[in-house]
Structure 1
Amino acid sequence: MSYAIDTWGVDDAPPILLSNPLGTTLAVWDHVVPQLLAMGFNVLRYDHPGHGESDVPQDLSSTTFESLADDVHHLLRHLSVPILFAWIGVSLGAATSIVFTMKYPRMVENLIVCDTISCSPINEGAVDYFQPRLDAIRKAGNLDAYIGETLNRWFGRPWLDANPNEEIRMRDLMHDVSVAGIVTCCSALRSQSFDLRGWASAAGGHVNHAQLLIGQKDTALRQSMEELRRDIEGGLRNKTGDNYQVVFLEDVENAGHVCFIDGLDSFMHRLRDFLQIL
Structure 2
Amino acid sequence: MFRRIVSSTPSKLYYPRRNHFMRQFRMASTLTLPDSRTLAYALDATPKDGPLVILSNPLCASFSLWDHVVKILNENGFRTLRYDQPGHGGSSAPKNLDATFDSMADDVHQLLESLEIKKVDSWIGVSMGASTGIYFTTKFPNTVSKLAICDTIASSPINAGAEDLFVQRVAAAREAGNLDTTIQGTMERWFGKEWLEKNPEEAQRVQALMSKTTVDGFETCCNALSSKTFDLRPLLGKVGDSVDDAVVIVGQNDANLPEVMAEMRTKIDEGFRAAGKDKLISLFVIRDAGHVCFIDGLKQFTDTILAWLTADQRRREIEALKSKQS
The bucket for the TM-score relative to the shorter chain is: over 0.9
TM-score scaled by length of structure 2: 0.83
| Alignment match, 1:77 | 113
| Structure 2: stretches of 5+ with no match in the other structure | 1-36, 313-326
Q: Does 1:177 align with 2:213?
A: yes
Q: Which segment is superposed worse, 231-240 or 97-106?
A: 231-240
| Alignment match, 1:239 | 275
CA distance in 2, matches of 1:125, 1:106: 33
Q: Does 1:143 align with 2:179?
A: yes
CA distance in 2, matches of 1:180, 1:214: 28
Q: Does 1:254 align with 2:291?
A: no
| Alignment match, 2:9 | none
| Alignment match, 1:115 | 151
Q: Does 1:124 align with 2:124?
A: no
Report the secondary structure of 2:256's partner residue.
Answer: helix
The aligned amino acid for 2:297 is G
| Alignment match, 1:20 | 57
CA distance in 2, matches of 1:74, 1:63: 15
CA distance in 2, matches of 1:33, 1:179: 27
Shift of residue 229 of structure 1?
Answer: 0.8
Pairing 1:74-223 to 2, within 5 Å after superposition: 74-223=110-259
Runs of 4+ residues over 3 Å off in structure 1: none
- 2:251–2:258: 8 Å Cα contact kept in structure 1? no
CA distance in 2, matches of 1:252, 1:132: 29
CA distance in 2, matches of 1:231, 1:213: 15
Kindly tell me the number of residue pairs found equivalent between the two proteins.
Answer: 275
Deviations 1:70-119 (A, max 9, x none): 00000111111111100000001000000000000100100001000000
Shift of residue 12 of structure 1?
Answer: 2.3
Shift of residue 186 of structure 1?
Answer: 0.7
- 1:99–1:203: 8 Å Cα contact kept in structure 2? no
The aligned amino acid for 1:267 is F
| Structure 1: stretches of 5+ with no match in the other structure | none
Shift of residue 10 of structure 1?
Answer: 3.4
- 1:207–1:236: 8 Å Cα contact kept in structure 2? no
Q: Which has the higher helix share?
A: 1
CA distance in 1, matches of 2:205, 2:176: 23
| Alignment match, 2:71 | 34
Pairing 1:33-52 to 2, within 5 Å after superposition: 33-52=70-89
The aligned amino acid for 1:273 is A
- 1:24–1:51: 8 Å Cα contact kept in structure 2? yes
CA distance in 1, matches of 2:94, 2:190: 28
| Alignment match, 2:3 | none
Q: Which segment is superposed worse, 199-208 or 145-154?
A: 199-208
The aligned amino acid for 1:264 is L
- 2:138–2:239: 8 Å Cα contact kept in structure 1? yes
Q: Which structure: larger Rg?
A: 2
Shift of residue 219 of structure 1?
Answer: 3.1
